[in-house]
Every structure is written in C-alpha cells, then in structure tokens.
Amino acid sequence: MNAPIRRISTLVALLFAALLLSSTWIQFVQAKELQERPDNRRTLLANYARERGQILVGGNPIARSVPSDDELKWLRTYPGKDLYSHITGYYSFTYGAGGGIEGAEDALLSGSSDKLFYRRVTDILTGKEQSGASLELTINAKAQAAADKALGNQPGAVVALDPKTGAILAMVSHPAYDPSVLSSHDTAKVQAAWKELNADKSRPMVNRAIAGNLYPPGSTFKVVTAAAALESGKFTEESSIPGPATLDLPLTTANLPNDFPGACGPNNRVTLTRALEISCNTAFGWLGMELGADEFRSQAAKFGIGDRLSVPMTVTPSSVPAELNEPQLAQSAIGQYDVRTTPLQVAMISAAVANNGIVMKPYLVDKVTSSDLETIDQAKPEQMSQAVSADTAGALTRMMQKVVESGTGTAAQINGVDVAGKTGTAQQGPGQPPHAWFTGFAPADDAKVAVAVVVEDGGTAGNEAAGGRVAAPIAKSVMEAVLGR
C-alpha cells in the first residue's frame, strides 16, 4: 500500500500548490486592481485614516480635514460653503470623490499618488504620520467672491483668467451647493442630500463654467469671425462690408435679421470695427459666408475649440459643427446654429486676444505642497497655440475697446481703465429667453484679467435681455476685483 500513499502525498503537494498560486494571484497580482475598486471599503477607510491634503486659496483652506472621533478618523469640511463648490467638488464616504479638484487630484490629496512615493517611503522609515499633499489654487479670492456676488441667484457661470499665464482666477457656477452636506459622516443625511441635489431641475452639481449642456456663444463668437477675417488678409479693421437690415440667405426662405431695426450703416455698408461695436448680425453673417467654412472652422480650432482640456477637471470640448452649408455658416459666424462653447473657452478667446494672440493652457492648481509645506510641484504656464498674429490681436483689441467705449458693452466700463470686450445675446429656440453673454479683458494695453460671463435665459431681465445690460456689469465687477479697484 506504500506506493499509492506516496502518490497521494504528491496529490497533496499539488492541492497546496494550487492554493499557493491562487493566494499569490489575489494578494500580489490582482491586489492593486482589487484595492482600486470603488466599492472597496477598506481602501476608503484607509484613505480616511490619513489626513487628506488641504485645498488652499491665497493660503486659506477652502477644503480641509478635521479630526473626527467616529470610525472615519477625519471629516472633510468646506469653510467657504457653496462659494467654491464647483472648484473643490465633494469628498464623500458614500459617493467617493468627485465634482472638482477632490476628484481630479484625488491621488495627490489622499497621498496615494506615485508622485509622493519617495516621501511615503521616508515617512514610513521615520515613523511620521502619513498625510496627503495640499494644493494651492490659482484662484483670486476677491475675484471669486465678486463673481459669486455679482451673479447672485441667476443661473449661469463666470470664468476669469490671467491672459499671460492661463491661471484661472475665478470660476463660479450658479446654482451652487454646499459640499459639506456630502462629506458628512451621517450616511442617511448624505444619501438624502445626494438624491435631492441630483433631482434638482436646476442641476446645482453641474459646473456650468466647464461642463454641462454647453451654451451657444451668440455674438461673442463674432470675435472669432473677425479674427478669421483679419487673418485672411482680405480685410482690415477699416474694411467696408455689407450690413443690410436683413441678410438674404441662400438655400432657405429664412433670412438673417439684425437685433435692432434697420441697417448697420449708410448705404447698407459698415466698417468691420463698427460692425463689431454695434454687433451687426448681417455683416458677420456675410463675412462668414465670404470666408468659407474651412477658414472659419480652422480659426475656431486655433482658439482651442474642439480641444480636450483638463484644468485638472475635465473640460467638455466646445464645438463648431463639422458640416456647414451656407446659411448654417452665416448663423455659426454669429455664434448661433449648433456652435456650442463653455464659458471657459469664451474666456480663452478673450485671453488670447489680450495676450498677443497666444492661447495659454488654463490651469487651476498653482502649487502642490507636502504636509510640511515643502513644494512638490509648481505649475509652469504652458502655451497651447498661436490663435492669431500679434497684429491681428492688436486690431481685435482696438475693435473690442470700441465695443465697451461706445458700443453694446458700455456697462463694462471701468473708471480710468481701458476695457475691451464683446457682448452676446444667444437665441435658444422660439419662445425661450436668450442667454446673456459678456467676454472681455482689462486693461486693454496690458491685460491682467480676461473674463467670460454667461447668464442663463437672460437672467432676471427676461426676453429683452442683451448681454450688455445683464452680463457686462458682472464682468466689470470681477475685473475690478482683480485690478484692485
């Protein structure tokens, strides 16, 4: 009977070899994948056991973790309540990290990022309490507060950029919410709040500045059309172009009218500068058809439309339709038809004009620091593209200055500062109130700030809204805040 017993011991060895293999598979090969599963409570608890890094604006925390004496050792709090909700996002035990920096830079904040690897090893060796990295944002607290106050309870968004670097100075989306209700450790309350926020028809959790249902840019897009015209070499700011009361569109019975009664100038003609100043639809519609779809679309692309961006939150790409016939092109040239943009993209157009035609990559995180305030990473401004030549940028600046000086954007004037800008009133469908837009920058000769403002459905002004009346004053107060006035 000894031979079979020996064979049985081989069988036993095989059985245990299978167990060694399977446990190695789980604890070594698959371990990382299993630990990164969103439903892994152990990973969540481990993250909560470490102090999560702060999110700072001007040295003050807008998101920080405070010790908590329940199972989760740290409670995430947002001292700014809803002022920074779309920037920070939320950090919830039940719903994870999302909605802003909390989600986009989770690895750094939680301390699990590979960038922190050596620091982690040192911490383990020196026996120091581990904690995540803190992020200092580019946000200007005054500009953010001004934008929030000026927008008030109107749904819409405000974005302010530093045109020279691309640093985001303000990012406000209304309606907002208080992320603290989602970071609470009271699961029932968090679930109720989450349900309510998601059911809310005004969609408070959507960051309208970079995502959501993009907006038609309306007349602010005439800056892009004007840029394409100047870049083509066929036109200058003083070129005289047709500007009748209504533009007869080919292929269709519909015509393109102006927002105001009558033609844009004597003899149905108008200069390019004047056309922008008074926001002449017919002139820009004609210009679009004259330039052609390819030229128009490539100019838009040079401003960054269609690019995928992360600031570090993912920005929904703005778009110009790929196929445009003549009437559609005329509509697109004035920012209607199916052209869709984020407020961030519109601000980038103004910023490029202000920065000699150079588009800078927008960013929100200025500095990454460890818990002992040592700098781990410092943002470096990055050039995205040259949208227009410096000459064209100069011409566009002069034209946009006219808009604020004596055109549709006079409400954005700031005492003693030259402001350049463009208004917009974006039609939606028949019967729906338009969106009010303003984009611009100041000071015109050496810009410190570029802004874009959109007020959904014309805000409180209703159907008669024009970007000049509703959006321009908001842009004005944000620019004043940045310029310290």
Partner 1 sequence: MSTVSSHPPRTRRNVELVLLLLAVGIVVLAYVNVSLAVNNEVPAGLTTQVIGLLVLAVGFHLVLRFKASYADPVMLPIATLLNGLGLVMIHRLDLAAGRSIGEAQGTRQLMWSALSVVIAAGVLWFLRDHRVLRRYTFTAGAVAFVLLLLPLLPGIGRSVYGSRIWIGLGPFTFQPGEIAKIVLAVFFAGYLVQTRDALSLAGRKVLGFTFPRARDLGPILVAWILSLGILVFETDLGSSLLLFGLFVVMLYVATERISWIAIGLALFSAGAYVAYLIFGHVQTRVNLWLDPFSPDSLAVSDQLAKGLMGMAAGGLLGTGLGRGRPYLTPFAESDYIIPSFGEELGLVGLFAILMLYVLLVERGLRTSLGVRDGFGKLLAAGLAFSVALQCFVVVGGVTRVIPLTGLTMPFLSAGGSSLLANWSLVALLLRISDQARRPVAELVTGPNATSDAPTEVVAVR
Q: Give the binding site for partner 1 (CB under 8 A).
A: 1-6, 8-9, 11-13, 15-16, 18-20, 22-28, 30-35, 37, 39-43, 45-46
Report in angstroms how near the CB of residue 395 gets to partner 1 at its nearest.
59
Report in angstroms how near the CB of residue 52 gets to partner 1 at its nearest.
19
Report in angstroms how near the CB of residue 17 gets to partner 1 at its nearest.
10
Report in angstroms how near the CB of residue 89 gets to partner 1 at its nearest.
25
Q: Which residues, in sequence order, are bridge partners of residue 75? A: 66
**13/254 with CB nearer partner 1:** 13
Which residue in the list 219, 350, 371, 477 is annotated as catalytic?
219
CA separation for the pair 140, 364 (Å, rounded): 11
Report in angstroms how near the CB of residue 47 gets to partner 1 at its nearest.
12
Give the residue carrying structure tokens 């208004």: 423
Report in angstroms how near the CB of residue 184 gets to partner 1 at its nearest.
21
CA separation for the pair 243, 272 (Å, rounded): 10
Q: Is the dihedral of CA 251, 252, 258, 261 positive or negative?
A: positive
Q: Is 370 part of the annotated catalytic residue set?
A: no
435 alpha carbon, distance to own chain's centre: 18
**14/199 with CB nearer partner 1:** 14
**31/254 with CB nearer partner 1:** 31
Q: Which distant-in-sequence residues (6+ apart) come within 8 Å of 463 by Cβ? A: 433, 434
228 alpha carbon, distance to own chain's centre: 24
Q: Compute the CA torsion angle 206, 211, 214, 219 (nearest 10 deg).
A: 110
Q: Which residues, in sequence order, are bridge partners of residue 248? A: 255
Question: Is-contact 130 50, C-beta < 8 A?
Answer: yes
Report in angstroms how near the CB of residue 13 gets to partner 1 at its nearest.
8
**9/383 with CB nearer partner 1:** 9
Type of residue at 66: V
CA separation for the pair 263, 485 (Å, rounded): 39
For residues 159-193, one letter each, b for 16 or more C-beta atoms within 10 angstroms of the residue's C-beta and e for the rest, the string is bbbbbbbbbbbbbbbbbbbbbbbbbbbeeeebeeb
Backbone angles phi, psi at 233, to 5 degrees: 85, -10
**126/153 with CB nearer partner 1:** 126
**69/372 with CB nearer partner 1:** 69
Where do the DSSP E strands lie in 121-217? Answer: 134-137, 156-161, 168-174
Using the 8-state DSSP alphabet, how is residue 274 labeled? Answer: H
**8/390 with CB nearer partner 1:** 8
The closest alpha carbon to 279, from 105, 469, 20, 36, belongs to 469
Which residues are catalytically annotated?
219
